[in-house]
Amino acid sequence: MPAHTVLQQADITRALTRISHEILESNRGPEGLVILGIPTRGVILADRVATLLEQFAGAPVALGSLDVTMFRDDLSRNPTRAPSPTQVPAGGIDGKTVVLVDDVLYSGRTIRAALDALGVIGRPSIVRLATLIDRGHRELPIRPDFVGKNLPTAQNERINVHLAEIDGDEFVTIEELNGSEQSPGEASS
């Protein structure tokens, strides 16, 4: 079955705008916020969210990235990618409200790895999760605080997030996998 487009560029922009407003409302402003993107596409989405937060609040927001590769519990089963550098904002994360940003939430294992990675670099007062797509099928008790779109899926489906900065175009598709394919870690977090 061919991939079916479920979000266009305007839908993604609208979802990130809503998420940004929800973050500001939940935090009662930009003070003490740290936005950390999870590579690869989560970093791009985090950058967009931070830009929107600064635009709406009129104040800078700390931005960084958090690579979770070495904290994953499936390194022996899945091919690994080269780790990306973790970039912690100058003020660190201790005592801050950290918002983790990822593209797709699936099993919850990537976020569990992110929580482990956070513990190594500091101790935030609150950790929140923002995801563009929540596709269900959680294996761990992890729930996003801010969701762009809930897309219930079957186990044999994959969500593909395309962002202009990486892919040259911007949309989200859902496709059915044949029996021999597996959802890659990036699209099945």
pLDDT digits (tens, 9 = 90+) for 5-54: 999 999 999 999 999 999 999 999 999 999 999 999 999 999 999 999 99
Per-residue pLDDT band at 187 (split at 50, 70, 90): very low
Residue 89, both tokens? 């904002």
Question: Above 50 in pLDDT, residue 188?
Answer: no
Average pLDDT over residues 150-178: 96
Question: Residue 124 — left, alpha, or beta (φ > 0 → left; ψ -120 to 50 → alpha)?
Answer: beta
Question: Above 60 in pLDDT, residue 185?
Answer: no
Question: How far lies 64's CA from each of 90, 98, 149, in Å?
Answer: 9, 10, 24
pLDDT at 73: 81
Residue 31, both tokens? 């003070």
pLDDT at 178: 84
Classify strands 126-134 and 97-105 as parallel, antiparallel or unpaired.
parallel
pLDDT at 83: 81
pTM given for the model: 0.92
Length of the chain: 189
Question: How far lies 91's CA from each of 3, 97, 106, 182, in Å?
Answer: 43, 12, 31, 40
Residue 154, both tokens? 């079957």
- Among 5, 35, 17, which residue's Cα sits nearest to residue 132? 17
pLDDT digits (tens, 9 = 90+) for 62-78: 999 999 998 988 777 77
Which domains, ranges and CATH numbers included, belong to the chain?
10-71+85-153 (3.40.50.2020)
User: Tokens 């489906």 map to which residue?
Assistant: 157
pLDDT digits (tens, 9 = 90+) for 78-108: 766 678 889 999 999 999 999 999 999 999 9
Separation between Cα atoms, residue 23 and residue 179, nearest integer Å: 39
Separation between Cα atoms, residue 152 and residue 142, nearest integer Å: 16
Residue 178, both tokens? 């044949």
- Among 46, 6, 21, 52, which residue's Cα sits nearest to residue 161? 6
Contacts of 148 (CB under 8 A, 6+ apart): 7, 12, 15, 16, 18, 19, 131, 132, 133
Question: Above 50 in pLDDT, residue 184?
Answer: no
